[in-house]
Amino acid sequence: MDNPILHDSHLAPVIDPDYREYLPPTLSRRSGKLLKRALVVSRSVIEAAGTGCPDAILTGTGFGCVENTEAFLEAMTYEGEACLKPTAFMQSTHNTIGSLIAIDTHCHGYNSTYTHKGTSFECAFMDAYMQITRGQATTALVGGYDELTPHYYSMLSRTGYMGPASGCMGGEAAVSMMLCGNTGNRQPLCRVEGIELHYGSTLDGLGDALQRLTEGAGCTLSSIDAVMTGLNGNAANDAAYRSAARVLFPDTHILMYKHIFGEIRTSAGLAVYASATCLSKGRIPSFLSVGGGSAGSEHGGVQRILLYNHCENRAHSLILLSSC
């Protein structure tokens, strides 16, 4: 919150811990980086939440286990199909992440993985929200996981999705959070008021989704302190956010986070993390604000933050969080 890590390159990689402190050597050796990251953050969240084994596990990933996929394809290319090792293939599928977390936590409940481009995390988040609000689960572990290998980063740079030419910094995501229907004696970071997913390119449809969200939460747009957006430096991506801010949120404080975390398919999970932290601490640091300037502490704290994300200006998501 006070000393963010700023990157001077066009890539913001995950800072990996010493996995020997978290995982046994046998599991660490046979697991790729993304799987190890998912296991470590999931264990940390479960321990911090004090809920024990979750009732459900929801996973969002846009690219999946890229490192294992590349390892399998390279082995097939250079060694043929006769002596392929099965491990890289088994760990290359997108749902490997959620499956491994379930095995590690001994969770035999509902488990689902969502891969929907830039709204993968929000789909998992919405599923968890519905499971809890409908009484299907009391606790749900939600995660967003994506990695960016040098080879894949080079490909995405050539297409203009990220990199120096696009003005967008690439990143990685390894984020988990526990959603609880009944927090008991635990102090949550924030409260989830609602979520809306909208598909379409018109601001009218997005405005209707925003109205449904605020009405369902029993509030108005004027009571929202800030809007966390996915501004990333890419002109085409940012144009949609600026249009929405001008039409739908003209008087609301605009925030951004991808200049800290980078762009990846499930970076919205990091937006939830950043927003929840701001709500928990009751303030918004200046480095998250568009145009600078902190907010919150001198005005009685931050009460509500709206998260707005879009993918290719077609798939849009709105998540409303409030302080507890």
Alpha-carbon distance of 209 to 320, in angstroms, equals: 12
Largest CA distance in the chain: 67
Structure tokens belonging to residue 182: 């009944």
**What is the predicted pLDDT for the residue at 294?**
63
For 245-303, write each residue's pLDDT tens digit: 999 999 999 999 999 999 999 999 999 999 999 999 999 999 999 987 666 655 558 99
In DSSP notation, 222-273 reads: GG--EEEE---S-HHHHHHHHHHHHHT-TTSEEEE-HHHH-B-TTTHHHHHH
Q: Are 176 and 143 in contact (CB under 8 A)?
A: yes
**What is the predicted pLDDT for the residue at 189?**
94
**What is the predicted pLDDT for the residue at 297?**
53
Domains and CATH numbers, the chain: 11-180 (3.40.47.10), 191-322 (3.40.47.10)
Global pTM reads 0.94
Q: Which regions in the chain score pLDDT beneath 50?
A: none
Those residues whose C-beta lies under 8 Å from the C-beta of residue 123, and which sit 6 or more positions away, are 60, 114, 116, 197
- Percent share of the chain, pLDDT over 90: 79
What is the overall mean pLDDT for the chain?
92
**What is the predicted pLDDT for the residue at 34?**
95
Structure tokens belonging to residue 260: 């800290």
Alpha-carbon distance of 139 to 222, in angstroms, equals: 31
